[in-house]
Amino acid sequence: MEPKTQKEVTGGLFLISETNPEHVFTPEDFNEEQLMMKEAVIEFVDREVWPNKERFEKKDYALTEALMKKAGELGFLSIPVPENYGGMGMGFVSTMLVCDFISGATGSLSTAFGAHTGIGILPILLYGTEAQKQAYLPKLASGEWFGSYCLTEPGAGSDANSGKTKAVLSNDGTHYELTGQKMWISNAGFASLFIVFARIENDKNITGFIVTKEDNNGIELGEEEHKLGIHASSTRQVFFNKTKVPVENMLGQRNGGFKIAMRANTINKLAKPALEIHIFCPVSS
């Protein structure tokens, strides 16, 4: 059987088809920058995370937040964010290395990390306007702010486009008012920014909005959920009651939120260059 070309071998196909060994990426292929990042994240996890395993099991949400801050200071929250938005501007391999080692220690930090760097940051990185990127990415990249993603509702989980949260345009056309209930929202307890999906009028699809947490703007949080695991990951309901959102904080196009929601949940765009080669990397212990 003819080996497939590099471009044809995607996803897990390398497991079941003959491939050219030159197209297989192994840890020996890490460059100096990637190895430095690997060493830095291993040191962080060994020093800050492993010794605190018990505290994560005891719902120490403050510890999760504190370690997210430290991760931000060390640049781990901003690996794929371009440098002009305050990020490290590094590629998918470095992103994967950091995720690998952070995820290997505790699910609580891993969930907080994933919610912030993935579904918190990616919607803005992939779909934000230049002004939105300039305004929010540097704060999120540094860990000054944490992000969370509000899609799920009591009646809209797997069927995510059926959410009932409404966005109503104000009479003067300057802002939308968001009203609705979101649930299972990771990082809600300490987030400063919410990516919120809501429906405008009777649109077929939901629309994305960037909502910053401000006092007296109709945002309320439920109690922390008691989960079977990932105990120190903050998971709460978020209620919006006529929360004012400037029109310029619409994310992407009206009616385009479902696409953003689904795309941000994968790491499609950022991962693509690296997925065209295969990464074999030992999972951290």
Ligand X SMILES: Cc1cc2nc3c(=O)[nH]c(=O)nc-3n(C[C@H](O)[C@H](O)[C@H](O)COP(=O)(O)OP(=O)(O)OC[C@H]3O[C@@H](n4cnc5c(N)ncnc54)[C@H](O)[C@@H]3O)c2cc1C
| CA separation for the pair 283, 129 (Å, rounded) | 36
Q: DSSP H helical segments within 210-275, as ranges? A: 257-265, 268-275
Q: Which of the stretches 56-64, 150-158, 161-169, 202-210 binds ligand X when contact is defined by CB under 6 A?
A: 150-158
Q: Which is nearer to ligand X, 121 or 150 (CB)?
A: 150
| Among 11, 158, 173, 216, contact with ligand X (rule: CB under 6 A) | 158
| Residue whose CB is nearest to ligand X in the complex, by number | 157
As measured in angstroms, the least distance from the Cβ of 146 to ligand X is 12
* Cβ–Cβ < 8 Å for 168, 176: yes
Q: Which is nearer to ligand X, 133 or 236 (CB)?
A: 236
As measured in angstroms, the least distance from the Cβ of 80 to ligand X is 19
As measured in angstroms, the least distance from the Cβ of 234 to ligand X is 10
Q: Which is nearer to ligand X, 5 or 266 (CB)?
A: 266
Q: Give the other-Cβ count within 10 Å of 57's Cβ.
A: 14
Strand 235-246 versus strand 250-251 pairing type? unpaired
As measured in angstroms, the least distance from the Cβ of 157 to ligand X is 2
> Rule CB under 6 A: which of 196-255 touch ligand X?
227, 235
Question: Looking at this protein, which amino acid is placed at residue 206?
Answer: I
- Phi-psi map region of 41: left, alpha, beta (phi>0 left; psi -120 to 50 alpha): alpha
Report the run of H or E that residue 167 belongs to, with start and end.
Answer: strand 166-169
Question: Looking at this protein, which amino acid is placed at residue 275?
Answer: L
Q: Which is nearer to ligand X, 78 or 148 (CB)?
A: 148
| CA separation for the pair 10, 128 (Å, rounded) | 28
Strand 147-150 versus strand 193-200 pairing type? parallel
> DSSP state, 247?
G
Count of residues touching ligand X (by CB under 6 A): 13
As measured in angstroms, the least distance from the Cβ of 74 to ligand X is 23
| Among 49, 150, 245, 250, contact with ligand X (rule: CB under 6 A) | 150
As measured in angstroms, the least distance from the Cβ of 264 to ligand X is 10
Report the run of H or E that residue 232 belongs to, with start and end.
Answer: none
Q: Which of the stretches 92-100, 138-146, 147-155, 198-206 binds ligand X when contact is defined by CB under 6 A?
A: 147-155
| Among 30, 85, 113, 149, contact with ligand X (rule: CB under 6 A) | 149
Please, which residues have CB within 8 angstroms of residue 244's CB and are 6 or more apart in sequence? 170, 175, 176, 177, 217, 218
| CA separation for the pair 224, 244 (Å, rounded) | 25
As measured in angstroms, the least distance from the Cβ of 183 to ligand X is 7
Q: Which is nearer to ligand X, 9 or 124 (CB)?
A: 124
Phi and psi at residue 117, in whole multiples of 5°?
-75, -25
> Rule CB under 6 A: which of 86-145 touch ligand X?
115
Asked if 152 is part of the footprint of ligand X (rule: CB under 6 A), the reply reads: yes
Give the footprint of ligand X on this chain (CB under 6 A). 115, 148-152, 157-158, 184-186, 227, 235
